[in-house]
Amino acid sequence: MICLPTPDAAILERRASIVHALRALVAQGNVIEDELRLAAYETDALTAYRQRPLAVVLPETTAEVAAILAFADREGVNVVPRGAGTSLSGGAIPAADAIVVALGKFNRILDVDYANRCVVAQCGVTNLAISHAVAGEGFYYAPDPSSQIACTIGGNVAENSGGVHCLKYGLTTNNVLGVEFVTPQGEIVRFGGKHLDAGHYDLLGLTVGSEGLIGIVTEVTVRILRRPQTARALLIGFQSIESAGACVAAIIGNGIIPAGMEMMDRPAIAAAEAFVKVGYPLDVEALLIVELDGPAVEVDYLIERVSEIATQNAAAGIRVSASERERLAFWAGRKAAFPAVGRLSPDYYCMDGTIPRRELPRVLREIDSMQARYGLRVANVFHAGDGNLHPLILYDANVPGETDKAEAFGFDILKLCVDVGGVLTGEHGVGLEKRDLMTYQFEPVDLEVQHRVKHAFDPSVRFNPGKVFPTLRRCAEQGREHVHSGAERFAHLPRF
Amino acid sequence: MVQDSERAVLRPRDAADLAEIVAGARGPLEPVGGGSKRAIGRPVEADLLDLGELGGIVAYEPAELVVTARAATPLAALDAELSAHAQRLAFEPPDFGALLGTSGEQTIGGVLATNLAGSRRVAAGAARDHFIGFNAVSGRGERFKAGGKVVKNVTGYDLPKLIAGSWGTLAVLTDVTLRVTPMAELDRTLVFTSATPAASVAILSAALGSPHDVSAAGFDPALGSLLRIEGFAPSVAARADALCGELSATPVGVFDGAASRQLWHVHASAVALAAIPFVWRISVPPADAPAVLDKLRPQRYLLDWGGGLIWAGFDAFDAANVRAAFGSGHATLIKAPAAERAAAVVFQPQPSVAAAASARLKAAFDPRGILNPGRMG
């Protein structure tokens, strides 16, 4: 059970006057205070936790954001920034004494600049909309988090979002050139632009991945790339996790960085195949999807090389996509892995640790033995190229105590990731979810240094309270209210 | 100006010793690895913190694409170890020894602290993009760590980004972890004739906007437009041919392998400007480069990063003219005699809100202001 911060009673009492003041700062109808409409903002994709905020404000311009933040600073009111609310780590979950600054009205692409190979978009533009805006000219924006049809570019910046292609093309931070940023004091500033690197401290680099703790990003400049001419994939089965892991290491050892390299274990394969029926082999312990992109001559050459490497590493079966349709079919099962696992069980809990790849067999063995201890099953999907592991813990929230058990199991897995030399989160962020585990990965002095960075921007600690850093506040037992998968938020979003 | 011979030299044996020295320091300290970049930035009057003992590769597993080394590991030693496993640092660190007339050996800590990148920056990112974790000693003399040793990590603030390019003013690195990438099987550089910077930037831009994965795009008025394609041999040949077709141009020179690598190393290290006393490194939106050059009128210049990086050399010092020549971007005075650097604004002045945030960050890491004070002025 993760505690939400105890609200400041004095702020709660001033709710009416705060709402009144906010109304003067934005256009009519852009302050939400009624319980019914606030309900839409009470959680994100970490749906086990819910909290209604003091109010939600929907600014339409950067000047309005600045005015809201200056007001909140003057009045000592907490602020929770929000994009599409698709965070899997609770990054956008409100606090009871905070105003949510929801940026959905920042939905315009401001500049498509092919000469400088970049796009300038307001923060509420969806990740996929950027690629759509430049698709006609053959370009795209490379980072592709699985929620890309809904998640916003501003949220991607806050979380430093990844995606299945980030081994080759980098995370958000490697693809963002600049931001317009509003400080917690309501000052507007630009970090970066259409040029590369910083002339002084890299405040842009610090902003990316800061999880809404140091300010609000209102506009983002991203670099765009030409879409690769072709992509093909291999589907490779293995009789052991060890040989699949050895194959991945050998592919990279041969100097090949695939566009995507995904692994699934036996339970994940079975769940996916039962769900989408794309012809995954059911008699293997591990399945690897390797995607190669680029000019046809390169892709054809590398398909051969990877096939040879797989054969040398005891592959139990190799299929090569012969058409775009077949390539997409290979992916369909992997991309449906989360909902497929969701069919096996009323609820599942998705974890997100990163490990050194060599530790995969050991980590999976230990997760296996934990299953017996917790009496819960796990299916594993793995971004094999970069060591980012997504164990999916199956549980039933209707069974008393099982939610807590699933959470404890998940935390044990993340601690295991740290124990083998990895980290708590590869792409979902710390947020609310992993906040209390930060002391497991970091020493007090490391967290103190991070706190000081936060204080350099937000000295009164009002931005996104209760996230990322453990606090000593008393636990108010409010907040968690489980909703079954049937009523899940963003049930339509692919998650992988 | 204080001569080196008049300064105290502190030589920590290890990270614990370093922390003790910093915690106990009563005056400013200038952290020095190999000393190759000491002639960049405002001269610092401080005791020398000689980090030469903090060298050596700590852990390298090629299959994990990650290497950890002590900060003062010579870049050449790291490069040698990586190339023995057909890997490399993708950001292609330049070497300003010839440009600056210095003889110090670069260290990996110095490369990261200055966030310098060579020509592959345009495709593969800068030092910051490959710097994934570190141990360091802050200006308070406390040992701390940030980031991690795996390539995909979003746990906590991305402090490697902040430390990269902070020129030793926030913390002294002791161990660094970098992401490495496989070496290309073949690299090929195509040289095209371009009469003007505008004609060159048009070619560079078309090439970088093509699907042929151009990994470097520069212009040397003495040579022409330079484009590099790297990767697996059959792919390089096919992409180079396709690119020439799309550009409707025939290269006047083709360099493969070692010749190509040498060409880009010399280009990115601005060796052509070695005889010129004042040299600026200017980052702008690539398409702005021709107009900026028109205003700058340098004695000698080079373009890199598709036009996004301008190297401009002048016989006389005129910072106001240089900084007035561009809108968005930044200019750093990379080379000038010490007396001029002491008086100049060497790094790009920040807007007031960013400057205030930077000052608060400096105070957070180094409240006594003892690490390289004034260096980034």
Task: Identify the CA nearest to A182 among candidates B354, B370, B372.
Answer: B354
Q: Judge whether residue A475 has pLDDT over 70.
A: no
**Rounded Cα distance, B4 and B226, in Å:** 41
Q: What's the confidence (pLDDT) of residue B1? A: 55
Four-CA torsion B50, B56, B62, B68, nearest 10 degrees: -50
Q: What's the confidence (pLDDT) of residue A437? A: 96
**Rounded Cα distance, B362 and A452, in Å:** 10
Q: Report CB contact under 8 Å: A427, B154.
A: yes
* Residue B183 DSSP SS3: coil
Task: Identify the CA nearest to B215 among candidates B179, B238, B239.
Answer: B239
Substitution target in B152, B282, B371 with the highest count of A β-carbons within 10 Å is B152
Surface-to-core class of residue A312, CB atoms within 10 Å of its CB (0-12 exposed, 13-18 middle, 19+ buried)? exposed
Distance to chain B for A16, nearest Cα, Å: 32
Task: Identify the CA nearest to A103 among candidates A157, A48, A140.
Answer: A157
pLDDT band per the 50, 70, 90 thresholds, residue B273: very high
- Report A:237-256 residues touching B (Cβ under 8 A): 249-250, 252-256
Mean pLDDT (whole number) for A224-252: 96
Q: Letter for the amino acid at B328?
A: S
Task: Identify the CA nearest to A52 among candidates A83, A94, A16, A88.
Answer: A94
Q: Judge whether residue A13 has pLDDT over 80.
A: yes
Q: Judge whether residue A246 has pLDDT over 70.
A: yes
Q: What burial letters (b/e) apply to A249-276, b meaning 16+ CB within 10 Å?
A: bbbbbebbebbbbbbbbbbbbbbbbebb
Q: Report CB contact under 8 Å: A355, B146.
A: no
Residue pLDDT, tens place only, A88-143 = 999 999 999 999 999 999 999 999 999 999 999 999 999 999 999 999 999 999 99
DSSP H stretches of helix in chain B: 15-24, 75-84, 97-100, 108-113, 121-124, 159-163, 197-208, 233-247, 257-268, 289-296, 319-324, 338-343, 352-365
- Report B:317-346 residues touching A (Cβ under 8 A): 328-332
Q: Is the pTM of this model over 0.90?
A: yes
Q: Which residues of A touch B122 (CB under 8 A)?
A: 196
Residues in Cβ contact with A328 at an 8 Å cutoff, skipping those fewer than 6 apart: none
For β-strands A388-395 and A118-122, DSSP reports them as unpaired
Mean pLDDT of all residues belonging to chain B: 96
Q: What's the confidence (pLDDT) of residue A383? A: 94
CA B197, B199, B205, B207 torsion-angle sign: negative
- Report A:206-235 residues touching B (Cβ under 8 A): 206, 208-210, 226-229
Cβ-nearest to A423 among B153, B164, B166: B153
Mean pLDDT (whole number) for A31-42: 96
Mean pLDDT (whole number) for A328-348: 90
> Are the CB atoms for B109 and B87 separated by under 8 Å?
no
Q: What's the confidence (pLDDT) of residue B314? A: 97
Q: Which residues of A touch B150 (CB under 8 A)?
A: 354-356, 386-387, 421-423, 426
Q: Judge whether residue B131 has pLDDT over 80.
A: yes
Q: Which residues of A touch B153 (CB under 8 A)?
A: 354, 423, 425-426
Residues in Cβ contact with A131 at an 8 Å cutoff, skipping those fewer than 6 apart: A139, A140, A141
For β-strands A55-57 and A98-102, DSSP reports them as parallel
**Rounded Cα distance, B163 and B131, in Å:** 10
Q: What's the confidence (pLDDT) of residue A335? A: 86
Lowest-confidence pick of A199-203, A247-251, A448-452, A488-492: A488-492
**CB neighbours (10 Å) of residue B120?**
24
Residue pLDDT, tens place only, B35-90 = 999 999 999 999 999 999 999 999 999 999 999 999 999 999 999 999 999 999 99
φ, ψ for residue B334, nearest 5 deg? -85, -35
Q: Is A408 on the interface with B (CB under 8 A)?
A: no
Task: Identify the CA nearest to B161 among candidates B127, B135, B185, B194.
Answer: B127
User: What is the rounded end-to-end Cα distance, in angstroms, of chain A?
Assistant: 25
Mean pLDDT of all residues belonging to chain A: 93
Q: Which residues of B touch A455 (CB under 8 A)?
A: 360, 364
Q: Judge whether residue A491 has pLDDT over 80.
A: no
* Residue B19 DSSP SS3: helix
Q: Which residue reads 């690490």 in tokens?
A: B371
Distance to chain A for B108, nearest Cα, Å: 19
Cβ-nearest to B350 among A200, A206, A422: A200
* Residue B232 DSSP SS3: coil
Q: What's the confidence (pLDDT) of residue A271? A: 95
Mean pLDDT (whole number) for A322-342: 91
Q: Is B357 on the interface with A (CB under 8 A)?
A: yes
Mean pLDDT (whole number) for B118-125: 98
Q: Judge whether residue A472 has pLDDT over 60.
A: no
pLDDT band per the 50, 70, 90 thresholds, residue A474: very low
pLDDT band per the 50, 70, 90 thresholds, residue A471: confident
- Report A:53-112 residues touching B (Cβ under 8 A): none
Q: What's the confidence (pLDDT) of residue A214? A: 98
Q: Judge whether residue A478 has pLDDT over 50.
A: no
Size of interface A-B (CB pairs under 8 A): 264
Four-CA torsion A351, A357, A359, A365, nearest 10 degrees: 50
Q: Judge whether residue A427 has pLDDT over 80.
A: yes
Q: Which residue of A has its CA nearest to B185?
A: A255
**CB neighbours (10 Å) of residue A1?**
13
**CB neighbours (10 Å) of residue B283?**
24
Substitution target in A200, A390, A414, A443 with the highest count of B β-carbons within 10 Å is A200
pLDDT over 70 for what percent of chain B? Answer: 99
Q: Judge whether residue A48 has pLDDT over 90.
A: no
